[in-house]
Structures are given as structure tokens and as C-alpha cells.
Amino acid sequence: IKKIAVFTSGGDSPGMNAAIRSVVRTCAFMKIECVGIYRGYEGMIEGDFLPMNARSVNNIINKGGTILKSARCEEFKTREGRQKAYDQLKSEGVDAMVVIGGDGSFTGALLFNEEFGMPVIGIPGTIDNDIFGTRYTLGFDTAINTAMEVIDKIRDTASSHHRLFFVEVMGRDVGHIALNAGVGAGAEEILIPEENLGLERLLESLKRSKLTGKSSSIVVVAEGDKTTGKNVFQLKEYVEEHLPIYDVRVCVLGHMQRGGAPTCFDRVLASRMGVKAVEALLEGKSNLMVGILDDDIAFTPLSEAIKGKTKIDKELIRVSDIMST
Ligand code: ATP
């Protein structure tokens, strides 16, 4: 292997730049060439390449987003699109690639490898922490810290006015952000897609909080929560109607959760994963994702990373219940 391509694809997450830096610097250390691809598979099809050396990645370890930009690309889902991408990589002299993204990006990479034999290693970059084969995805730690800090701020205003806040955080299919940020910020209730505790329980709990003298209540709601079959605004209306003792507000955190400087944890994780991704390619490995299990780097076949489901931390749910007593 003489030249490795690196790109970011799908939703961006904090730590992607640190991972790009790690891949580029490891290539430089190993004395092989490295090329960045702008805008994921879209840029691959268009041949939007950037030759990179150790100095191309100065001062990016601390930056959120991705300097290589990211995109979703429908054309790559077609055989013709992938053929164009392959032709571009070949004319650039690329022998192997590192894809930083989520399960969709891995699915595309796997298919590409089956069709054209291009060796590939994946680095899980998504704030949702929903990729099988790694305890942490890149960006998750930053996202939960961002969410927690904002909830802390909401708490200040909530307790000044004796208010109840519903704070919606990201997580359409999984509640990892909600559960962790919620426990970290001392939320009274945390509503996640994995557990439907019902409206009655929520009302009971909120009533109890008020009666036992809490000056504010915060309920963290994952986007994909199914407790009510309602969105967070309808949830607010329901609670106002059935529990008129509360002055209720809603705050949707939205995309701020994806931005910002990565935490030290995410920077270190990205640095470790990037080194291993390049080393794996040089050892002849392919179709694997670099993950972290029990604090050690672990490889999982991309095919399993795509299919497998992550488990919600039941013990943390129990801790949350006890804390909200
Ligand atoms: P996120 O965590 O943001 O969802 P992701 O990597 O899962 O990240 P997707 O939008 O699902 O994001 O996928 C990114 C890109 O990967 C797609 O835009 C497409 O170009 C490619 N891709 C996804 N699925 C396939 C597929 N089945 N075949 C070929 N390419 C695919």
C-alpha cells in the first residue's frame, strides 16, 4: 500500500478532525502518501481530492466539524456512481481507504470493497453512540457534555421560576445521549426510545417532585421517545392539561449538540483509532471497523458493525430512577 485516502461521510461529529489528523500523521510517520477526499462519496465520485501531509492537519485536533466536509450522496448507492468513484480513486493512485462515518457510510464502503476490492477500514464517527462493536463512537462524549452544560443552564432559569422544562436531545432510535446527559445534569425524568414507561408514571413522578419540594423539574426527552406517541410540544400540552400545578417550557437543543470543540476523551479516542486504522491497512486487513471495548482497541467486521444493535445501559437507568427520588 502506497497511498491511503481518508474521508468523512454522513452526519458530522466532534472528533472527526482529530481522526483525520491521526490518519494523515500516521501515514506520514509510515512514509506512505495520504489524500483527503472532500464531501465523502460525493467528492469521491467527482475526484475532489486533497493531497495531505503532516502539516496539512496543523491546529485541527481542537476543532469541531470536519475540514474535509461531509455529505450524503445518492449517486454512490448506484453501481454507476460507485464505478465513477473507483475510476477516480484509481487515477489518483489510491490503494486503500479509511472512512469516518456511521453505518450508512460503512454499508457503502463494504459494497464498494465487494465490487472493486478496495481495502477499507471504518472509524465510527457519530454523536449517537449507536454503532455495534465499540463502547464509544467519536463525538458522543463531546455531545453529552454539550447537552449536559446546556441543561445546567436551563436548570438555573427553571429553578428561578419554579418551572418544568422538557429538554429534547438528539437520538431518533437510541437514548444514549438522553440517558447520559440526563443523569449528568440531574434530570428528574429521562424519556428514551428503548423504554416506554407510560404517561401515568410520568405524571405521578412530576407530581411527587413538586410535592416533595423541588424548585424545578427537568425532563430530558430523546427525539425518538415513544412514551407518549407525541412530540415534545404535544407532551408539554398534555402535562399542562393534566397537571396544572406546573408552568411548563420546552427547549429543543438541536444541532448545537453536533458542534463544538471535541472533549479530551474524543481527541484521544480519535488519535488512537486513526493510528490503528492505518496500521490495520498496512497489515493487509480490510472490511473492519476500529472500535474501543474495555478500553482496548478492538476490530469488528464492518458487516457486524452495520447489523448489530447497541444496548442501552440498564444499570444507568436504575441509577437515574434512584437519583430522582
Ligand atoms: P449518520 O450517523 O449521520 O446517519 P451515516 O454514515 O449512517 O451517518 P448515511 O446518510 O446513512 O449516514 O450514509 C452516508 C452515505 O453513505 C450515503 O449518503 C451514501 O452515499 C452512502 N450509503 C449509505 N447507504 C448505502 C448503500 N446501501 N449503498 C451504497 N452507499 C450507501
Q: Summarize the confidence of residues 112-136 as an average pLDDT.
A: 98
Question: Given this model, what pLDDT does residue 212 score?
Answer: 85
Say what the ipTM of the complex is: 0.98
Burial class (CB in 10 A: 0-12, 13-18, 19+), 298: middle
Q: At what angle do helices 140-160 and 264-282 cross, to 10 degrees?
A: 160
Ligand 1 in contact with 301 (CB < 6 A)?
no
Residue ranges for the known binding site are 11, 21-25, 72-73, 102-105, 126-128, 155, 163, 170-172, 186-188, 214-216, 223, 249, 255-258
Cell of 114: 465487494
Minimal-distance CA residue to ligand 1 atom 24: 104
Nearest to 192 by CA among 210, 171, 213, 212: 171
In this predicted structure, the answer to whether residue 230 has a pLDDT above a threshold of 80 is no
Measured CA to CA, the distance from residue 20 to residue 213 in angstroms comes to: 50
Question: Given this model, what pLDDT does residue 291 score?
Answer: 98
pLDDT tens digit sequence for 180-213: 999 999 999 999 999 988 899 899 999 988 888 8
Measured CA to CA, the distance from residue 282 to residue 298 in angstroms comes to: 17
Measured CA to CA, the distance from residue 180 to residue 193 in angstroms comes to: 14
Ligand 1 in contact with 56 (CB < 6 A)?
no
Question: Given this model, what pLDDT does residue 287 score?
Answer: 98
Of the candidates 48, 95, 128, 321, the residue annotated as catalytic is 128
Can you tell me which residue has the cell 471504518? 122
pTM of the model as a whole: 0.97
In this predicted structure, the answer to whether residue 288 has a pLDDT above a threshold of 90 is yes
Question: Given this model, what pLDDT does residue 210 score?
Answer: 83
3-class secondary structure per residue, the chain: CCEEEEEECCCCCCCHHHHHHHHHHHHHHHCCEEEEECCHHHHHHHCCEEEECHHHHCCCCCCCCCCCCCCCCCHHHCHHHHHHHHHHHHHHCCCEEEEEECHHHHHHHHHHHHHHCCCEEEEEECCCCCCCCCCCCECHHHHHHHHHHHHHHHHHHHHHCCEEEEEEECCCCCCHHHHHHHHHCCCCEEEECCECCCHHHHHHHHHHHHHCCCCCEEEEEECCCCCCCCCHHHHHHHHHHHCCCCEEEEEECHHHHHCCCCCHHHHHHHHHHHHHHHHHHHCCCCCEEEEEECCEEEEEEHHHHHHCCCCCCHHHHHHHHHHCC
Residue ranges for the known binding site for ADP are 21-25, 155, 186-188, 214-216
Question: Given this model, what pLDDT does residue 4 score?
Answer: 98
In this predicted structure, the answer to whether residue 229 has a pLDDT above a threshold of 80 is no
pLDDT tens digit sequence for 34-66: 999 999 999 999 999 999 999 999 999 999 999
Nearest to 302 by CA among 15, 16, 97: 97
Tell me whether residue 295 is one of the annotated catalytic residues.
no
